[in-house]
Structure 1
Amino acid sequence: MSGPSDRRFDLNLVEEAAPPSPDNVWRPSFVSPTGPLTVGDSVMKNDMTAAVVARNLLTPKDNRLLSKRSDELAVKDSLALSVQCAGSVSNMAQRLFARTRQVESLAAEVMSLKQEIRGLKHENKQLHRLAHDYATNMKRKLDQMKETDGQVLLDHQRFVGLFQRHLLPSSSGAVPRNEAPNDQPLMPPPSRVLSSTEAPNDPPPVPSLSGALPTAETSPKQPL
């Protein structure tokens, strides 16, 4: 790469007037002293290529305007252009720095969100495991309750059958003798049942004493 001392710019160089285009369209041609520029030439690595490109970016009218200026005015314009370029580059650097900080902040936020997502995924797995265990436990309890309900229903049916066979009277209305309770007294026969007109507390009739005891008239006199 050539240094600044190797540059040989001819400020008074005037580009030859190109023949006017029939459609009035400007078609710049990047021609260097060594020939036309190729796709292998680099503006970033070769100052001469950069100067050729910069010079040929000006339109023919701009070249004519610049050729009419004095050297002092051209230098002032160059200095002003250099300052403007430096300010523009500085502003762009500040913008890029701010964008870099913003990108770094967004990257940190993305990392934080990724960690939060990993934590939420882990918590989701734990909740899924707890829900599965709870569902399994509830299913087992429901199965046990169904078995218990079935056993209770069978016991109820067995108890009803025993109650109907042993405690309730049969279809004839008589209670079996061996199944009659022992603590209940037997009913008396109907012939000995008192009628409603009889008083159960009336005393029995007193027998006549006429023939039971001797009277004073019939008893023999006893000797004194």
Structure 2
Amino acid sequence: MASSSQNNFDLNAVPNVQPEIRHSSSLSQKDPLMTNASVMLDDAVAASVARGIITPQDEKLLADRTDVEAINDSMALSIQCASSVSNIARRLQVRGNEVQELRTQVLSLQRRNRGLQQENKELKKLVDAYANDLGKKYSELEMNTNRLREQQESLLLEVQKNFKISRPEA
């Protein structure tokens, strides 16, 4: 960290200044940059600085420094900016890996889904064939049951008729 023998620079110190909003045409961020924002205290501002932007608050902080202190503070800012950019790059790489893994999973699930759809079609054909076959067998069974019922009734009538004949009426 940059520190001087005359001034100890505290990175956690927040100046007691009313924030002023400055819009810069060179800013590509969506949010306006506060003029009392500090690259040493805010990673988002540090990322902006990595794109070549120094805030007015940082200019004030650096203006009170000797050349050596300003160089040391600038180096600290550069290191922090590089660290922030590196951190963002790592996050993007992790997200990219996650996206690639999810794409692979989606493709695998799509292949599995196609296989299951094909299996479902084959099972539906089997069920339809079984249902048709079962329907035919049911119709045959129903016809046989009706024939047997008719034969039973005719045998019953014949038995009753023969029973009456073999028994004389008193």
Return the TM-score normalized by structure 2.
0.63
Secondary structure, counterpart of 2:22 in structure 1: coil
Q: For residue 94 of structure 2, what is the aligned residue in structure 1?
A: 98
Aligned to 1:136: 132
Residue 144 of structure 1, CA deviation: 0.8
Q: Assess, with a 3 A threshold, how the Cα gap between structure 1 residues 171 and 79 changes in structure 2: closer, same or farther.
A: same
Match of 1:121 among 117, 122, 125: 117
- The 5-angstrom pairing of residues 41-190 of structure 1 reads 54-55=53-54, 57-59=55-57, 62-165=58-161, 167-170=162-165, 173=168
Alpha carbons of structure 1 residues 29 and 118: separation in structure 2 relative to 1, 3 Å? closer
* 1:10-49 alignment, distance < 5 Å: 24-28=18-22, 30=24, 37=25
Q: Which has the larger radius of gyration?
A: 1
Shift of residue 112 of structure 1? 0.8
Provide closer, same or farther for how the CA distance between residues 161 and 70 of structure 1 changes in structure 2, counting only shifts above 3 A.
same
Deviations 1:137-182 (A, max 9, x none): 21211111110011111122223333444x43439828xxxxxxxx
Distance (Å, rounded) in 2 between the aligned partners of 1:172 and 1:131? 58
Paired AA for residue 125 in structure 2: R
Q: CA deviation at 1:82?
A: 1.2
* CA root-mean-square deviation: 2.8
SS in 2 for 1:170: helix
Q: Which structure is higher in helix share?
A: 2
Amino-acid identity (%): 31
Q: Which runs of 5+ in 1 are unaligned?
A: 1-23, 31-36, 44-49, 175-224
Count of equivalent residues = 131
Greater RCO, CA 8 A, separation 6+:
2
